[in-house]
Amino acid sequence: MAHPLEGVGVALITPFNEQHEVDFEAYGRLLDFTSTGGVDYFVVQGTTGETSTTSAKEKTDLLKYTKEHNPKNLPIVYGLGGNNTKAVLETIKATDLSGVTAILSVCPYYNKPPQAGLIAHFTAIADASPVPVLLYNVPGRTVISLQIPTIVELAKHPNIIGIKDASTIENAQELAKRCPEDFLLLSGDDNLVTTSVSIGFRGVISVIANAFPKEFGELTWAALNGDFDKAAEIQKRFIDFDTLLYTESNPVGIKKCLEIKGICSSEVRLPLVKASDALGVKLEKAMNAEGFWQ
């Protein structure tokens, strides 16, 4: 039986209007577009949702809205982490997690804790959470990385069910080799989905799926179903495009793609700034070249 978080989870952006308020009408369009496009579950207020600049109320309002505007009743993963363990535990206690399949908890950033500190941090979160926990390892943003022995140790906790790993393919190989078979391995790098699935990963939490859910769903499920020729063919179409998305930081690029598609504005909150005109031209040219218009 497939795991409810197998396949493509879309790391939802947070649309803003020109006043930089959350645009719930646009958010509703995004939920419709991605769910009908073929994603398997929603990831609400992951780091792609600009969680560094959304307030506590906005976070809970976005979660509530997702629960109430879920056209296909897809599973929901909610981003709930930070670098202050006590504050994370208080937020877990204060948040209505009914209807949430799991929380996604990022490595503590800036503090640079040792591996023992990471084990203690995530153990406390898993002990407190009423729903299962997915670890999120993204050293490109947090500086520190969950080392393989640390992940293997945390995988023993009954409430830690998997990891979104956005580190290296070498790490992915070690995870596939050393983690329990029932520990859910999810790619955090859109460009490595085909490769990751080939060694035992069971899907991706994707930025690209915000604007291209159909193509990325086809790619991921082709790989999961063993059709690596088809998966590789689609993956190659995204390689250069994926690089473009991050040249001015995430989610700047993907928001520009969504604006081109008429789904939401490309507005972001400071200290991020909107995509430059030059990047917009390059993204639109790439979308035309690859046929990314569904």
- For 237-259, the DSSP string reads HHHHHHHHHTTT-TTHHHHHHHH
The two three-digit tokens of residue 34, written as one number: 């991605």
What predicted TM-score, i.e. pTM, was given to this entire model? 0.97
Give the closest residue to 197 by CA, choosing from 221, 162, 216, 224.
224
The two three-digit tokens of residue 197, written as one number: 């699935």
Q: Is 51 annotated as a binding residue?
A: no
Q: Is 282 helix (H, G, I), strand (E, B) or coil?
A: helix
Share of the chain above pLDDT 90, in %: 95
Domain ranges of the chain: 7-225
Phi, psi torsion values for 58, nearest 5 degrees: -60, -40
Q: What is the pLDDT of residues 25-49, one digit of tens each?
A: 999 999 999 999 999 999 999 999 9
Catalytic residue among 59, 136, 255, 256: 136
5 DSSP assignment: T
Q: What is the pLDDT of residues 195-212, one digit of tens each?
A: 999 999 999 999 999 999
141 DSSP assignment: H
Catalytic residue among 41, 59, 109, 164: 164
Give the closest residue to 256 by CA, choosing from 284, 285, 294, 286.
284
Active site residue 41: no
Q: Is 48 annotated as a binding residue?
A: yes
What whole-number distance in Å separates Cα of residue 132 and Cα of residue 96?
Answer: 14
Q: What is the pLDDT of residues 135-151, one digit of tens each?
A: 999 999 999 999 999 99
Read out DSSP for 40-91? SEEEESSGGGTTTSS-HHHHHHHHHHHHHS-TT---EEEE---S-HHHHHHH
Phi, psi torsion values for 204, nearest 5 degrees: -150, 145
Q: 7-225: what CATH class?
A: alpha beta
Active site residue 109: no
